[in-house]
Amino acid sequence: MPVQCSNCVQRRAVLKRPKTGHSLCKDCFFWAFEEEIHQTIMSAGLLNRGETVAIGASGGKDSTVLAHVMKVLNERYDYGLNLLLLSVDEGITGYRDDSLETVKRNQQQYELPLKIVSYEELYGWTMDAIVKQVGLKNNCTFCGVFRRQALDRGAMMLKVDKICTGHNADDVAETVLMNVLRGDIARLRRCTAISTASDGEGAIPRCKPLKYAYEKEIVLYAYFKKLDYFSTECIYSPNAYRGHARAFLKDLESIRPSSIIDVIHSGETLSIKEGVKMPVQGTCSRCGYISSQALCKSCVLLEGLNRGLPKLGIGKHHRLHGKILAQEPLTEQEEKKLKPVDF
């Protein structure tokens, strides 16, 4: 016998909500999903009337759903936001070029302005070229650091007030687990924050309206709404460490769906023991971007690439930064350590 929607008790249920286990019809699911995001935005005071908000758009399911829902809510609740799409082109042939085509279609479908910033124009390097030099082991470190800064730089060019990213509940829970496993207390404290409004000066505040949205529900929403998104994985392999955290979380979720929210909740309510040293935010002496060191990570990584010493920004080589930047010669031994590994 067909199951009835437990909400409207009129239509036939087409899905069981992964988050709550409720059997719902399509329309009641759309409403519940959108309403929860609205509640997240309202209760955390993420956005204010009149603001220009850039939606970080990759063409993937999360940012496509985010762009769609933000547009729906902006109209339904008259948020008074000026929305636009901001994409980063990492320069990955066969992956980002295709996903950017999806973003361009989204731009038409949602009638939102689109700005694309590329690694090539900002750093003089594409990911294709970086992988050629560094191989496939640390490529995601370069990509992640550059992306973060590229989004900020694009947002500054557009003079936006805020950036919204499509990070979902699974992403946040994974990051909590990864930071626990690495013992990275500073990041552990930061990663559950729904917005970074108070994070240093100069950086544009970021927020995560999908912070409590389950990945499974995002997929269902995109599927039933027939949204146009790009689902291929990056050709330069996903970050292996995150992959393990993800697999572990998926196992937990299959036993107890609330594990995702529970891990986030644990991260949110952790307090840091007095006396634990935290990095002090300053600015990069070279590019002016926020940094807890004299040079930001992005400038160190770039310096390493330009000098053919890509390992400079990977691992603990802080001791050498001063020497390198003062243009002092390195010993043969030191150079050897920073050269690309054979692969």
Rounded CA gap, 7 and 98, in Å? 39
Q: Which residue in 65, 88, 127, 264 binds ligand SF4 (CB under 6 A)?
A: 127
Decide if 309 contacts 338 (C-beta within 8 A): yes
Q: Which residue in 123, 230, 236, 289 binds ligand SF4 (CB under 6 A)?
A: 236
Query: Which DSSP helix (H) or strand (E) runs through 305?
Result: helix 297-306
Asked if residue 88 belongs to a known ligand binding site, the reply is yes
State the nearest-atom distance from the C-beta of 34 to ligand SF4, in Å: 28
Q: Does residue 287 touch Zn ion according to CB under 5 A?
A: yes
β-strand 82-89 against 114-118: which pairing, if any?
Answer: parallel
Rounded CA gap, 173 and 216, in Å? 14
Decide if 190 contacts 281 (C-beta within 8 A): no
Could you tell me which stretch among 59-67, 191-199, 234-242, 334-342 binds ligand SF4 (CB under 6 A)? Answer: 234-242
Asked if residue 166 belongs to a known ligand binding site, the reply is yes
Rounded CA gap, 87 and 101, in Å? 11
Residues from 142 through 181 that contact ligand SF4 (CB under 6 A): 143-144
State the nearest-atom distance from the C-beta of 3 to ligand SF4, in Å: 39
Q: How far is CA 177 from the centre of its chain?
A: 16
Rounded CA gap, 343 and 327, in Å? 29
Which pair of tokens denotes residue 233? 């994985």
What three-state secondary structure class fits 5? coil
Which pair of tokens denotes residue 298? 């992005």
Q: Does residue 90 touch ligand SF4 according to CB under 6 A?
A: yes
Q: Which is nearer to ligand SF4, 138 or 179 (CB)?
A: 138
State the nearest-atom distance from the C-beta of 127 to ligand SF4, in Å: 6
Which pair of tokens denotes residue 313? 């920004």
Q: Which is nearer to ligand SF4, 82 or 239 (CB)?
A: 239
Asked if residue 131 belongs to a known ligand binding site, the reply is no
Which pair of tokens denotes residue 68? 């769609």
Return the one option of Zn ion, ligand SF4, none that residue 289 interacts with (CB less than 5 to 8 A, by type): Zn ion
State the nearest-atom distance from the C-beta of 283 to Zn ion, in Å: 8
Residues 6+ apart with CB under 8 A from 231: 60, 61
State the nearest-atom distance from the C-beta of 96 to Zn ion, in Å: 23
DSSP line for 193-248? -SB-TTS-SSSPPEE-TTTT--HHHHHHHHHHTT-----PPPTT---HHHHHHHHH
Could you tell me which stretch among 26-34, 89-97, 256-264, 284-292 binds Zn ion (CB under 5 A)? Answer: 284-292
Could you tell me which stretch among 39-47, 189-197, 281-289, 327-335 binds Zn ion (CB under 5 A)? Answer: 281-289
Max Cα-Cα span within the chain: 78
Residues from 32 through 51 that contact ligand SF4 (CB under 6 A): none
Return the one option of ligand SF4, Zn ion, none that residue 164 interacts with (CB less than 5 to 8 A, by type): none
Q: Which residue in 69, 127, 296, 320 binds Zn ion (CB under 5 A)?
A: 296
Rounded CA gap, 33 and 263, in Å? 21
Which pair of tokens denotes residue 213? 């949205």
- Please identify which residue in the block is written with the tokens 């919204």: 164
Q: Which residue in 234, 261, 314, 325 binds ligand SF4 (CB under 6 A)?
A: 234
Could you tell me which stretch among 66-74, 181-189, 288-296, 304-312 binds Zn ion (CB under 5 A)? Answer: 288-296
Q: Which residue in 218, 249, 299, 309 binds Zn ion (CB under 5 A)?
A: 299
In the complex, the residues that contact ligand SF4 under the rule CB under 6 A are: 90, 127, 139-140, 143-144, 234, 236, 238-239
In the complex, the residues that contact Zn ion under the rule CB under 5 A are: 284, 286-287, 289, 296, 299
Annotated binding-site positions for ATP: 56-58, 62, 88, 166, 171
